[in-house]
Amino acid sequence: MFSSSANKRVFREYLGAQWSGVRFTDVPVNPHVDEFHYILAFTIDYTAGAADVPPVPTNGNFRVFWDTRYFTPDAVAEAKRKNSNVRVMLSVGGATVKDVDVVFTPATEDTWVRNAVNTLGAIIDEYHLDGVDIDYEQFHPSVEPDLFTRCIGRLLTELKAGKPAGSFITSIAPYPNKNAQRLYRALWNSEYQMAIDYVNFQFYAYGHNIDVPQYIDRYNEQANAPNFPGGRVLAAINTNNPAVVNIVNPDIALEACNQLNQQLGGKLPGIFIWSADGSLNQNQGFFYETQAQLILTGGN
């Protein structure tokens, strides 16, 4: 079902979306983690906008919106040169662009797929990236599960087809929203499931009242039918301030990751963190990144 990453335990870190000044070198990389994935956020199929002109959808013509001061093709190459277990990929979509909601708005299936394959392919080649993550969170009212499935499924399939087998890593990033769950589940339960390597489910979005047992229950719910059975579902930590943002407290999430890993016999597929920008802004010293990797490596 999966690429050559199937039996690897991965740590993943989103970065670049908040223009905090964080850099690849700020985030500690444990050499004992099978794979460490930096995920650049975001590429978005919206115009850049201007002071008096808000961004608008471009039907699959993607552009880079991450912090291009520090995340350049040269920086990507250096990050991979310094650590043999590092891979770098991009994330598609996100929640907002310049305070405008990012909405999945294909004009037609074929034109969106063609534009997306061409523009994302060019960015992937320019930056020498190793994969793509799908993180659309809002959808035009006309978007039904079949359309979302075909657009995203064809995109992932075509991007993978141009790379050596097992070398291009893909993921989807659903979250606990009824419509988003409906669309991502349809994609997962389609013929395109074969093109998806990881499920970055946003468990932190369940809110600040979640405790460790509830987090574990929600992980098990998402990792099984009718949600994403058979998927390599990753646990998740959000390092922003839970008192300001309605997210699961990162200490709760970290302990839940630890207990999940124990319950799975040390076989938790991986952990991802949103985001390095948040960790830098909270002056956490990248504590959660360090501890999450130790969980995955058995304390090494």
The dihedral built from the CA positions of residue 210, 288, 123 and 8, taken in this order, carries a sign that is negative
Coarse DSSP helix, strand, coil percentages of the chain, rounded to the nearest 5 percent: 35, 20, 45
Scored b (16 or more CB within 10 A) or e, 9-20 reads: bbbbbbbbbbeb
| 208 and 168 Cβ atoms separated by less than 8 Å | no
The reply to whether 158 belongs to the active site is no
Name the token pair of 230.
Answer: 């058979």
Q: What does the CA dihedral 282, 300, 3, 82 come to, rounded to 10 degrees?
A: 70
Token pair 């690897």 is found at 8
| 14 and 41 Cβ atoms separated by less than 8 Å | yes
List Cα–Cα distances, 216 to 220, 254, 263, 289, in angstroms. Answer: 6, 11, 10, 20
- The residues near 175 (Cβ < 8 Å, ≥ 6 apart) are 137, 201, 202, 205
Question: How far is the C-alpha of 69 from the C-alpha of 85, rounded, in Å?
Answer: 24
Which residue of the set 137, 144, 158, 255 is catalytic? Answer: 137
Question: How far is the C-alpha of 127 from the C-alpha of 120, rounded, in Å?
Answer: 11
| Identity of residue 84 | S
User: Please, which residues bridge with residue 136 across strands?
Assistant: 94
Name the token pair of 41.
Answer: 């956020």
| 173 and 134 Cβ atoms separated by less than 8 Å | yes
User: Please, which residues bridge with residue 300 across strands?
Assistant: none
Give catalytic residue positions: 137
